[in-house]
Amino acid sequence: MDDSLVQEAAAVLARAYATREPIEPLIKTYPEAGVEDAYRIQQEQVRHWVDGGDAVRGHKVGLASAAMQRQMGVDQPDYGHLTGSMFHLEHQAIPTSAFLQPRIEPEIAFVLGSALRGPGVTVADAVRAVDFVLPSLEIVDSRIQDWKISLFDTIADNASSGGVVLGSSPTALGSVDLRLAGCVLYQNGAVAATGAGGAVLGSPLNSLVWLANTVGPLGVTLEPGHVVLPGSMTRAIPVSPGDTVVATMAGLGSVTAVFAPATEES
């Protein structure tokens, strides 16, 4: 794709954000485009957000578990950017009107204490770089109608990012085996899904290593203080106004996302 087409696609996605109206899959309009083009579209959007006063505060790995890859019909992970405006406080009402077709998923969030840059990052490097971990809930969203996304579509759409809720119980990395940490996801008091850290590329740390080594050659460093979401421990579940979603993670505590009732959004 030449630069004009990249900017055109980014503008189409920007309008979907502004109007809250989903669009047809971009791959239909740009059938010859590839993964590199999709990341160029993503970067164009990020530049637009930063120019508008937002700031990159971390990254996310998407489609890191077999369950999510099956659910979305893709066969490899991707990554997106987390900006400051995407972070929501735990237990504080989140308006679903801020999203188009939101879903939520539980993740073990890494908070970095030192910079991490590939290529060549190992698990040992990643362990040294992590300050602590937190239970988190990621709100995924898609500007693509009915979530009919190809890998190209989700990458271009900032890896289907929407929002993040971080828990408030920091845990040292050495205090928990992330692979074996079980998770129960509750929606309005009922069990909605279960999973474990090992569902995320065998270990969430593998996801962090993959991310550092993928973005490093592009000139991107994972910065101290940044949050990295490594991928979902369960399938994603749709959310509606008035929902309360809680994820409990063994050895990590819990995190709660509360969505405003429809009456408060009107």
The predicted-structure confidence for 31-70, as pLDDT tens digits, reads as follows 999 999 999 999 999 999 999 999 999 999 988 877 667 7
For residue 66, the model assigns a pLDDT of: 74
Question: Dihedral of CA 236/238/240/242: which sign?
Answer: negative
For residue 65, the model assigns a pLDDT of: 75
For residue 77, the model assigns a pLDDT of: 87
Q: What percent of the chain has pLDDT over 70?
A: 98
User: Is the pLDDT at 266 greater than 60, yes or no?
Assistant: no
Residue showing tokens 């890896």: 159
For residue 174, the model assigns a pLDDT of: 93
How many angstroms separate the CA atoms of 9 and 20, rounded? 16
User: Is the pLDDT at 112 greater than 70, yes or no?
Assistant: yes
Q: What percent of the chain has pLDDT over 90?
A: 90
Mean pLDDT across the chain, nearest whole number?
Answer: 94
For residue 125, the model assigns a pLDDT of: 98
For residue 67, the model assigns a pLDDT of: 67
Domains of the chain listed by start with CATH number: 3-259 (3.90.850.10)
Exposed e or buried b per residue across 38-74, where buried means at least 16 C-beta atoms within 10 angstroms of its C-beta: bbbbbbbbbebbeeeeeeebbbbbbbbbebbbebbeb
How many angstroms separate the CA atoms of 59 and 80, rounded? 6
User: Is the pLDDT at 150 greater than 60, yes or no?
Assistant: yes
For residue 76, the model assigns a pLDDT of: 76
Closest CA to 256 of 92, 96, 60: 92
How many angstroms separate the CA atoms of 148 and 153, rounded? 9
CA atoms within 13 A on the CB side of 260: 15
Q: What is the pLDDT of residues 179-207, one digit of tens each?
A: 999 999 999 999 999 999 999 999 999 99
User: Is the pLDDT at 13 greater than 90, yes or no?
Assistant: yes
For residue 102, the model assigns a pLDDT of: 97
For residue 105, the model assigns a pLDDT of: 96
User: Is the pLDDT at 71 greater than 70, yes or no?
Assistant: no
Question: Dihedral of CA 124/125/130/133: which sign?
Answer: negative
How many angstroms separate the CA atoms of 158 and 242, rounded? 26
What's the mean pLDDT in 121-133?
A: 98
For residue 242, the model assigns a pLDDT of: 97
* pTM summary value: 0.94
For residue 51, the model assigns a pLDDT of: 96
DSSP state string for the chain = --HHHHHHHHHHHHHHHHHT--B--HHHH-TT--HHHHHHHHHHHHHHHHHTT--EEEEEEES-BHHHHHHHT-SS-EEEEEEGGGEE-TTSEE-GGGSSS-EEEEEEEEEESS-B--SS--HHHHHHHEEEEEEEEEEE--SBGGG---HHHHHHTGGGEEEEEE-S--B-GGGS-TTT-EEEEEETTEEEEEEEGGGBTTSHHHHHHHHHHHHGGGT--B-TT-EEE---SS--EE--TT-EEEEEETTTEEEEEEE--HHHH-
User: Is the pLDDT at 73 greater than 80, yes or no?
Assistant: no
What's the mean pLDDT in 243-265?
A: 94
pLDDT band at residue 94 under the 50/70/90 scheme: very high
189 vs 71: which has the higher pLDDT: 189
How many angstroms separate the CA atoms of 192 and 105, rounded? 10
For residue 69, the model assigns a pLDDT of: 74
The full length of the chain comes to 266
